[in-house]
């Protein structure tokens, strides 16, 4: 794990991207997952208090963000006794690049009773994955471990563990909400890729959290992919080593393919 971050923070609070923040789509493009992470960090710092915990983050990605300064502004649009809603607007290089809406709910005693849940995720822990780790630290600074070879483009239901190898800022590890927000973006390449590469780019991310994740590793399992006419919607279930903690949904539009190494 690196102690250096994806960004420097200037005196006005803007995030100044380092080369590690670039997108795999283009060296001139900021990775969209980092906008989701900045939105989560903003909410953590200013709104996740008084017993409120984030339950949903939706970020609409309006345009491809350049490798330029990111400014995050935020406001509470609802502050009730049990429901708090926050909007975070993200401007990149002066352009309105994205808007996140975060729903926080007040925590309390959990009702007793038996409610159906999906079966336990019976997969090896990250340390026990037999398939060799795929370390894509350039440019993503993201370690990916495909379970039984079921990574991007595999002709089967995909299952991976992933871990960010740096925080947003120097000497600041990602907190649970920030880590989950960054990981949720991976639902798009994991669910939408084929054997030749990735031909969809996502226009949003919606993260649902039944609880906050524990630990550095986030597991993703593709739950659905539906597409027609150049539009796809996909879902991944999210896990830590204790079990499922949430879901990530994306909608995506057809794009010039990002080819996998070795594909023609």
Strands 134-136 and 142-146: antiparallel
Q: Cα(27)–Cα(191) distance, rounded to whole angstroms?
A: 23
What is the predicted pLDDT for the residue at 259? 53
Q: Could you count the other beta carbons within 10 Å of the beta carbon of residue 221?
A: 21
CA pair distance 51, 79, nearest whole angstrom:
13
pLDDT at 245 > cutoff 90:
yes
Residue 258: which pLDDT band, with cuts at 50, 70 and 90? low
Q: What is the 3-state secondary structure (H, E, C) of the chain?
A: CCCCCCEEECCCCCEEECHHHEECCEEEEECHHHHHHHHHHHHHHHCCCCCEEEEEEEEEECCCCECCCEEEEEEEEEECCCEEEEEEEEEECCEEEEEEEEEEEECCCCCCCCCCCCCCCCCCCHHHCCCCCEEECCCCCEEEEEHHHCCCCCCCCCEEEEEECCCCECCECCCHHHHHHHHHCCHHHHHHEECCEEEEEECEEEEEECCCCCCCCEEEEEEEEEEECCEEEEEEEEEECCEEEEEEEEEEEEEEEEECCCCC
| Each residue's pLDDT tens digit, 4-20 | 999 999 999 999 999 99
Those residues whose C-beta lies under 8 Å from the C-beta of residue 61, and which sit 6 or more positions away, are 32, 35, 97, 98, 202, 203, 204, 205
pTM above the 0.85 mark?
yes
Q: What is the pLDDT of residues 182-210, one digit of tens each?
A: 999 999 999 999 888 898 999 999 999 99
Phi/psi at 34 (5° precision): -75, -25
Rounded-to-integer distance, Cα 92 and Cα 7, Å = 13
Q: Is the pLDDT of residue 262 over 50?
A: no
Question: What CATH architecture applies to the domain 7-106+131-259?
Answer: Beta Barrel (2.40)
Nearest CA to 235 out of 255, 245, 220 is that of 220
The domain limits of the chain are: 7-106+131-259
pLDDT of residue 19: 94
Q: What is the pLDDT of residues 154-185, one digit of tens each?
A: 888 999 999 999 999 999 999 999 999 999 99
Q: How wide is the angle at C-alpha 189 spanned by C-alphas 62 and 223, nearest 5°?
A: 105
Mean pLDDT value across the chain: 92
């Amino acid at each position: 794990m690196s102690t250096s971050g994806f960004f420097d923070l200037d005196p006005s609070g803007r995030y100044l991207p380092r080369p590690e923040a670039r997108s795999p789509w283009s060296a001139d493009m900021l990775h969209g997952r980092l906008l989701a992470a900045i939105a989560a960090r903003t909410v953590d710092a200013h709104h996740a208090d008084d017993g409120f915990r984030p339950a949903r983050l939706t970020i609409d990605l309006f345009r491809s963000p350049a490798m330029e300064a990111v400014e995050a502004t935020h406001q509470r649009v609802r502050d009730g006794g049990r429901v708090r809603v926050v909007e975070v607007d993200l401007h990149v290089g002066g352009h309105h690049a994205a808007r996140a809406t975060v729903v926080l709910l007040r925590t309390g005693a959990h009702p007793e009773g038996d409610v159906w849940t999906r079966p336990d995720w019976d997969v090896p822990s990250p340390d026990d994955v037999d398939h060799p780790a795929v370390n894509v630290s350039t440019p993503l600074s993201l370690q990916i471990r495909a379970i039984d070879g079921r990574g991007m483009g595999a002709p089967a239901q995909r299952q991976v563990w992933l871990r960010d190898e740096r925080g947003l800022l120097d000497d600041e590890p990602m907190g649970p909400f920030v880590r989950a927000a960054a990981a949720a973006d991976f639902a798009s390449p994991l669910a939408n890729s084929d054997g030749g590469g990735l031909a969809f780019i996502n226009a949003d991310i919606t993260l649902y959290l039944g609880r906050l994740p524990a630990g550095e590793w986030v597991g993703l399992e593709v739950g659905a992919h539906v597409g027609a006419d150049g539009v796809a919607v996909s879902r991944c279930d999210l896990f830590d080593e204790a079990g499922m903690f949430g879901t990530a949904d994306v909608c995506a539009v057809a794009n010039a393919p990002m080819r996998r190494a070795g594909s023609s």
